[in-house]
């Protein structure tokens, strides 16, 4: 294809990467400056080549410099950034699941930036165990004999099955062969561990006799898996941990319960659906229980295994343990969160996950009024701000049937005045703000559930809405 004289002329005028890099000021690493220049110049080259009549203004030195500076800023920005969760999903796996209580930040950072007794026994001056820092308190809180923590609960399930049931059979109800999301499926993990799945019962009903008639010489474990993200309702029957443990003890076979989202707090005390606690599972006779650190517990990502010493010690010695071991920062956070649980009322007040789940409705209503007031005070023509009743969700595959009545602030931008964004445009623009605000759309309106908002978020949302509706270049022209 022949290029026009203008195209050829502009291509010739494009500066060399080196020249642009030379004239860039600022402290950015040279490699990044080069990368930014290359990207901008290559975009310009494609622009010129694909337009018979390219706009010469776009390759003026000033404009090129501005594009390069913008690209450089983009490259310098971290990829993992904090954001505002206005979705009302409390344990939101895509948005980082649990927020750590601010009161533990200082001690965590101190541990991170200094040497510590991570694997050092201070009393005896010899090598120690990294698990010792949380084992005792986990036993104290749950009543277990022994405890171990690994990278996450998926790892806990894998290593427990591998240690106790490799090459042997594990009996599980067909109603509990769950998929958690992110491709974690009990049958697949079981296969990877080398354990042999022996499924019993039907999807909706499993009886004690289904387990007992499946027990044979090859049976290593009776496994109970929390259904987590779904519930079977109607004509159903499942076998409790207690019944299963009694059966197991007749045959000398341990029961392992994968609780998924383990919790220490009885949520029914706060008007919510009862969710079996770790303590309950152990006292019902489970030999081992595993659960996540960052679901309902509200701590850092971790897989916590508690139960009888003879099993926990075996898991600790499994070489896989080294591959799934917990990092020291996580360990510091976990210890600090567990210490808060010594006083359950304090935990409910200060662990953000628990605070958001048990938030009194009055608090939610006043939060919604406060946010609505701030947004109305922006006086953006064409932007309707209302308070809308909504329902938050627990998330994290926990308590799927729990209804959490909540309040949201709804935004709808009509076609009058300055703000001419569609709900989808507004949602996308808020999501692209310097501190992204994640909302959801319902009935052509952007909803922000106040349950999952933190103190600072009110000001951030206000800035975001102001910026999006007043300053966003596309707002007036309806470009978004």
Ligand X SMILES: *Cc1c(COP(=O)(O)O)cnc(C)c1O
Write out the residues near ligand X by the rule CB under 6 A.
Answer: 152-154, 157, 180, 184, 225-226, 228, 258, 260-261, 292, 303, 397
Minimum gap (Å) between residue 301 Cβ and ligand X: 7
The two tokens of residue 290 are 């595993």
Minimum gap (Å) between residue 450 Cβ and ligand X: 26
Minimum gap (Å) between residue 42 Cβ and ligand X: 41
Q: Which one, of 344, 340, 287, 276, lies nearest residue 313 by Cα? A: 287
Nearer to ligand X, 169 or 176 (CB): 176
Q: Which one, of 303, 286, 255, 294, lies nearest residue 154 by Cα? A: 303
Nearer to ligand X, 155 or 356 (CB): 155
Nearer to ligand X, 28 or 272 (CB): 272
* Segments in 170-229 forming alpha helices (H): 186-193, 208-214
In whole angstroms, give the CA distance from residue 200 to residue 131: 36
Minimum gap (Å) between residue 291 Cβ and ligand X: 8
Question: Which are the contacts of 366, defined by CB distance < 8 A and separation ≥ 6?
Answer: none
Nearer to ligand X, 78 or 182 (CB): 182
Q: Are 313 and 146 in contact (CB under 8 A)?
A: yes
**Bridge partner residues of 258 (DSSP):** 225, 290
Nearer to ligand X, 303 or 425 (CB): 303
In whole angstroms, give the CA distance from residue 425 to residue 421: 5
Task: State the residue for tokens 């081992």.
Answer: 288
Minimum gap (Å) between residue 44 Cβ and ligand X: 45
Residue 151 CA from chain centroid, whole number: 14
In whole angstroms, give the CA distance from residue 139 to residue 338: 11
The two tokens of residue 258 are 């994968």
Minimum gap (Å) between residue 155 Cβ and ligand X: 7
Minimum gap (Å) between residue 197 Cβ and ligand X: 15
The two tokens of residue 60 are 């003026």
**Bridge partner residues of 409 (DSSP):** 387, 448
Minimum gap (Å) between residue 35 Cβ and ligand X: 35
Mapping DSSP to helix (H, G, I), strand (E, B) and coil, where does residue 394 land?
Answer: strand
Sign of the Cα pseudo-torsion (85, 91, 95, 97, in order): positive
Nearer to ligand X, 153 or 245 (CB): 153
Question: Which are the contacts of 381, defined by CB distance < 8 A and separation ≥ 6?
Answer: 416, 417, 418, 419
Nearer to ligand X, 274 or 456 (CB): 274
Q: Which one, of 180, 191, 189, lies nearest residue 157 by Cα? A: 189
Nearer to ligand X, 399 or 429 (CB): 399
* Segments in 235-307 forming alpha helices (H): 241-251, 278-283
Question: Do the bridges between strand 184-185 and strand 120-121 make them parallel or antiparallel, or are there none, so unpaired?
Answer: unpaired
In whole angstroms, give the CA distance from residue 40 to residue 277: 56
Minimum gap (Å) between residue 185 Cβ and ligand X: 10
Nearer to ligand X, 306 or 450 (CB): 306
Q: Are 270 and 358 in contact (CB under 8 A)?
A: yes
Q: Are 262 and 268 in contact (CB under 8 A)?
A: no
Minimum gap (Å) between residue 258 Cβ and ligand X: 5
Nearer to ligand X, 253 or 259 (CB): 259
Nearer to ligand X, 302 or 348 (CB): 302
Minimum gap (Å) between residue 180 Cβ and ligand X: 4
In whole angstroms, give the CA distance from residue 279 to residue 263: 9
Phi–psi pair at 290, nearest 5 degrees: -125, 150
Minimum gap (Å) between residue 244 Cβ and ligand X: 16
Nearer to ligand X, 74 or 188 (CB): 188
Residue of closest CB approach to ligand X = 260
């Amino acid at each position: 294809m022949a290029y026009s004289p203008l195209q050829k002329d502009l291509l010739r005028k494009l500066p060399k990467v080196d020249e642009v890099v030379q004239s860039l000021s600022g402290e950015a690493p040279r490699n990044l400056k080069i990368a930014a220049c290359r990207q901008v110049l290559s975009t310009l080259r494609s622009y010129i080549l694909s337009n018979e009549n390219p706009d010469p203004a776009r390759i003026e030195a000033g404009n090129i410099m501005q594009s390069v500076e913008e690209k450089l800023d983009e490259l310098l920005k971290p990829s993992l950034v904090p954001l505002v969760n206005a979705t009302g999903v409390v344990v939101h796996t895509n948005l980082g699941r649990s927020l750590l209580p601010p009161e533990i930040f200082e001690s965590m950072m101190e541990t991170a930036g200094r040497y510590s007794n991570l694997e050092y026994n201070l009393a005896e001056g010899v090598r120690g165990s990294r698990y010792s820092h949380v084992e005792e308190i986990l036993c104290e809180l749950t009543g277990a004999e022994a405890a171990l923590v690994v990278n996450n609960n998926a790892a806990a399930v894998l290593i427990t099955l591998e240690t106790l049931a490799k090459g042997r059979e594990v009996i599980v109800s067909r109603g509990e062969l769950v998929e958690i999301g992110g491709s974690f499926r009990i049958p697949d993990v079981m296969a990877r561990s080398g354990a042999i799945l022996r499924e019993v019962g039907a999807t909706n009903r499993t009886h004690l006799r289904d387990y007992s008639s499946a027990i044979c010489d090859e049976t290593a474990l009776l496994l109970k898996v929390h259904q987590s993200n779904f519930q079977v309702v109607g004509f159903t029957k499942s076998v409790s941990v207690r019944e299963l443990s009694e059966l197991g003890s007749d045959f000398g076979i341990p029961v392992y319960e994968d609780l998924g989202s383990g919790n220490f707090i009885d949520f029914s005390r706060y008007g919510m659906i009862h969710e079996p606690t770790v303590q309950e599972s152990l006292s019902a006779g489970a030999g081992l229980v595993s659960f996540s650190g960052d679901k309902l517990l509200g701590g850092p990502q971790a897989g916590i295994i508690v139960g009888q010493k003879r099993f926990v010690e075996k898991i600790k010695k499994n070489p896989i343990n080294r591959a799934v071991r917990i990092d020291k920062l996580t360990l510091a956070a976990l210890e600090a969160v567990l210490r808060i649980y010594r006083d359950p009322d304090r935990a409910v007040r200060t662990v953000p996950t628990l605070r958001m789940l048990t938030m009194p409705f009055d608090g939610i209503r006043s939060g919604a009024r406060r946010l609505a007031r701030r947004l109305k005070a922006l006086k953006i023509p064409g932007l309707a701000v209302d308070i809308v009743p909504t329902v938050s969700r627990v998330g994290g595959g926990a308590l799927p049937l729990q209804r959490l009545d909540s309040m949201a602030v709804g935004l709808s931008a009509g076609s009058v005045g300055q703000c001419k964004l569609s709900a989808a445009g507004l949602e996308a623009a808020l999501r692209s703000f310097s501190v992204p605000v994640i909302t959801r759309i319902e009935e052509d309106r952007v909803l922000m559930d106040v349950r999952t908002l933190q103190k600072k978020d009110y000001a951030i949302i206000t800035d975001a809405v102001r910026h999006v509706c007043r300053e966003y270049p596309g707002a007036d022209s309806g470009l978004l």
